Amino acid sequence: MTTSNAPEQDLQSTRVVIVGGGPGGYEAALVARRLGADVTVVEQAGLGGAAVLTDVVPSKTLIATAEWMTIADRAPELGIQLDGLPLAGAPGEAGGGLGTLVRHKIDLAAVNTRVKALAAAQSADIRGRLDREGVRTVLGHGRLDGPQRVLVTTATGDELTLDTDVVLVATGATPRVLAEAVPDGERILTWTQLYDLQSLPERLIVVGSGVTGAEFAGAYTSLGADVVLVSSRDRVLPGEDADAAELLERVFRSRGMTVMSQSRAAGARRTADGVEVTLADGRVVQGSHVLFAVGSVPTTAGLGLEEAGVRLKPSGHIEVDKVSRTSVRNIYAAGDVTGVLPLASVAATQGRIAMSHALGDAVTPLALRGVSANIFTAPEIATVGLSEAALQAQGTHYTVSMLPLARNPRAKMLGVRDGFIKIFAHPASGTVLGAVLVGPRASESVFPLTLAVTHRMTADQVAEAVTVYPSMSGTIAEVARMLHHRSED
């Protein structure tokens, strides 16, 4: 725990201006108000920022819709007849058999209308909460004019000057755009533009096999689109656990997705009725639409950061320490603009830490050890703690235990075949070092292992907790039991 070195001050007269109203910004605003500061949030797009309006909330809403299609695919083997279709494998029915996919018609315009409505509702909820807490909100573009002044150009063109004692920059990031494939919002798309589509793409080319590319490729495959995933690496999700990535790629292919490995996209152009994506080796992939998911760039240009003395990394991200402080004493930064870890949960944590430190409250510096992350594919991939690759790179001794979900009785009941639980532990102490969960709702199941990593629990302590039978979490305890190290005493 640390406290700010700032001199004691009357917090009611402390002015805080937050540039950016995403998770890092609005969570920081709530902390600052709780501590008694006068708080103004400047946001250009709307409260919640890109996370709520164009990124996390809409994408996960779309994926949740696609998940229902994945569940429906399992219906025949569970004995459920849908839309007058014969049961899979019914006597005398040609083409029957377990594993046959049941396809249903998707009204993508209706889906996207709901997606955008939910995002707008979430933004309104955040605005209402800030209003109730006494946070002032200004819609417009904010930029620093030195370390203690923020200039705002409002949506109506007015200019405001906000003098401040503390600044937090939480402006996020935007999709990376290739000069050879400039998005047009119709056929050549970034992930922020997908929600204007009125009909399901006939053939969607997804360029980029990282988290964003994999999530959208999987979702649109489940929705019924013909999807081609173009990956510059030898497998999807190159930065994730190898076992998890290999399983997901196998599932993708089994569902009809075309995965083009070691294929780097060089550009894209519109044709009369679609798009052509040119690969670096000269091959051309044709489709109706193309989604580029090739990373993001921090939103730091035009903010007056360097002029105010804020140090940037070569990547353009703002350099911060463990309490979110920049190179300028009273200027802090949080979220994707810092490049620390592109998760909404981390952005919110950074924002809360920043305000606690700036306003003299006790604060624990940011620790990424216990941060859990999830990839919302089907199956989901959840991780926490150190990965196997990180353990090997550090030369850390570890033991690993892993079981497939297919052996779990609850999984059998639900028709779940794909997934596993894997736990890494220290061979001497038994301390849980990290874990990988692959399966339905892995984002929910990872929590007990997040607690284990955060509080440095041993595998034996995890195993000793009694689980419900039958439950998916039973496999977590079983894997932990496999890591038991018998004492030689």
Q: How confident is the model at residue 10 (pLDDT cuts 50, 70, 90)?
A: low
What integer pLDDT is reported at residue 314 of this predicted model? 97
Interval 368-395: pLDDT, tens: 999 999 999 999 999 999 999 999 999 9
Strand 284-287 relative to strand 258-260: parallel, antiparallel, unpaired?
unpaired
Q: How confident is the model at residue 155 (pLDDT cuts 50, 70, 90)?
A: confident
Interval 169-207: pLDDT, tens: 999 999 999 999 999 999 999 999 999 999 999 999 999
What integer pLDDT is reported at residue 487 of this predicted model? 56
Structure tokens given for 404: 């497939």
Interval 264-301: pLDDT, tens: 999 999 999 999 999 999 999 999 999 999 999 999 99
Q: Is the pLDDT of residue 440 over 60?
A: yes
CB distance 140 to 17 below 8 Å:
no
User: Per the confidence metrics, is the pTM higher than 0.75?
Assistant: yes
